């Protein structure tokens, strides 16, 4: 498995440290991501504390396995970026999410906030251009499309070390943007969209980029014709260079966390990729 380890502050007040780890434990990328839901949007839907056990809450800790990737519609792209990656909880609290009305989660990109920082989500994960590009490269072998089912997210919460442990490095995670996520139509809001896309992937319905017309990847009834043509267009357009991640924020320039679930054990080494994944805007994080 290719593991994206995310270590997020326990109060979800800042970005998560992101470390991309191959099966042999080699580190491919370090940077930042978002695993914090919007408190404002959560309050509108009866989850003001973003309780992880309820829809519109933060993603719960545990392991998530990827089911597949689909193209966002033009309407969705402003919020989510070009692609939507669908995950199911497999271990830990994430595995219990389905019993609480959260059977699926999304990972995606999307524009940075007006302040240049990464925005919160509606319950899933927001990744940077560079991180998504690094993941696609690692999952791509030769001319084959990325093997998304080899991707796992492992989410952990951690707190900074106490003041008396002065020898341990204190990680200052970049702050989150004050710009809220954009709520789209009910069908395109993250909780309902995640469930619909999971059903589409698991039922093997036609999906994907759908040729030149750019077919809808939501369950709104606009399908992509044949699954063969959709898959072919998807691969031809995006898998040849494995860099079209579709987000306008970047986070690889700062040193990310190490391979353990503790802020204090995180390495300060930065190995982030400088490749762009489909947008000209960047978010600015403090060093």
Q: How far apart are CA 18 and CA 253, in angstroms?
A: 12
Contacts of 203 by beta carbon, 8 Å cutoff, 6+ apart: none
Ordered by start, the domain boundaries in the chain are: 2-265
- Read off the tokens for 267: 């390495």
Q: Could you tell me which residues come within 8 angstroms of residue 45 by beta carbon, excluding any fewer than 6 positions away?
A: 55, 56
Give the global pTM: 0.74
Distance CA(78)–CA(110), nearest Å, equals 6
HSE, CB side, 13 Å, CA atoms: give it for residue 14: 18
Segment holding 193, helix H or strand E: helix 190-203
Q: What is the token pair recorded at 110?
A: 């999307």
Bridge partners, residue 64, by sequence: 89, 153
- CA-CA distance, 276 to 262, in Å (whole number)? 29
Q: What 8-state DSSP symbol labels residue 18?
A: E
User: What local confidence, expressed as pLDDT, does residue 158 receive?
Assistant: 86
Name which of 274, 214, 249 is nearest 111 in CA terms: 249
Residues 158/4, Cβ–Cβ less than 8 Å: no
Max CA pair span of the chain: 62
Q: What is the pLDDT of residue 2?
A: 98
Residue 44: predicted pLDDT: 96
Tokens representing 49 are 């504390």
Nearest CA among 1, 36, 7 for reference residue 258: 7
Dihedral in degrees, nearest 10, Cα atoms 103, 108, 113, 118: 90
What's residue 79's pLDDT?
Answer: 96
Half-sphere exposure (Cβ direction) of 202: Cα atoms closer than 13 Å: 13
pLDDT of residue 169: 60
Structure tokens at 143: 């001319």
Instruction: Residue count of the chain, please give it.
Output: 287
Residue ranges of the chain whose pLDDT lies below 70: 160, 166-171, 204-287
- CATH no. for 2-265: 2.40.440.10
Helix (H, G, I), strand (E, B) or coil at 84: strand
Main-chain phi, psi angles of 238, to 5 degrees: -130, -25
At residue 107, the 3 state secondary structure works out as strand
At 206 the pLDDT is 47
**Dihedral in degrees, nearest 10, Cα atoms 198, 105, 152, 260:** -170
What pLDDT score does 166 carry?
66
In this prediction, residue 111 carries a pLDDT of: 94
Helix (H) or strand (E) holding 131: helix 129-139
Q: What is the distance between the alpha carbons of residues 272 and 255, in angstroms, rounded to a whole number?
A: 8
């Amino acid at each position: 498995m290719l593991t994206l380890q995310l270590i997020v502050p326990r109060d979800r007040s800042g970005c998560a440290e992101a470390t991309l780890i191959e099966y042999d434990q080699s580190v491919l990328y370090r940077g930042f991501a978002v695993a914090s839901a919007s408190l404002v949007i959560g309050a509108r839907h009866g989850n003001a504390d973003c309780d992880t056990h309820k829809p519109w809450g933060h993603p719960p800790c545990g392991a998530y396995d990827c089911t597949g990737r689909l193209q966002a519609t033009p309407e969705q792209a402003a919020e989510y970026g070009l692609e939507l990656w669908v995950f199911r909880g497999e271990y830990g609290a994430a595995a219990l999410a389905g019993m609480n009305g959260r059977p699926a989660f999304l990972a995606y990109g999307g524009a940075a906030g007006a302040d240049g920082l990464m925005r919160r989500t509606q319950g899933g994960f927001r990744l940077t251009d560079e991180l998504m590009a690094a993941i696609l490269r690692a999952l791509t072998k030769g001319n084959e499309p990325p093997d998304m089912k080899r991707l796992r997210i492992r989410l952990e919460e951690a707190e900074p070390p106490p003041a008396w442990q002065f020898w341990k490095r204190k990680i200052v995670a970049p702050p989150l943007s004050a710009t809220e996520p954009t709520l789209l139509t009910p069908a395109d809001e993250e909780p309902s969209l995640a469930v619909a896309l999971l059903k589409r992937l698991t039922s093997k319905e036609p999906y994907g980029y759908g040729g030149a017309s750019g077919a809808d990847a939501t369950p709104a009834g606009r399908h992509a014709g044949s699954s063969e043509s959709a898959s072919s267009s998807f691969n031809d357009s995006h898998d040849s260079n494995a860099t079209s991640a579709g987000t306008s924020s970047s986070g690889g320039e700062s040193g990310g966390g190490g391979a353990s679930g503790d802020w204090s054990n995180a390495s300060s080494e930065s190995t982030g990729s400088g490749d762009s994944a489909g947008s000209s805007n960047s978010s600015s994080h403090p060093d």
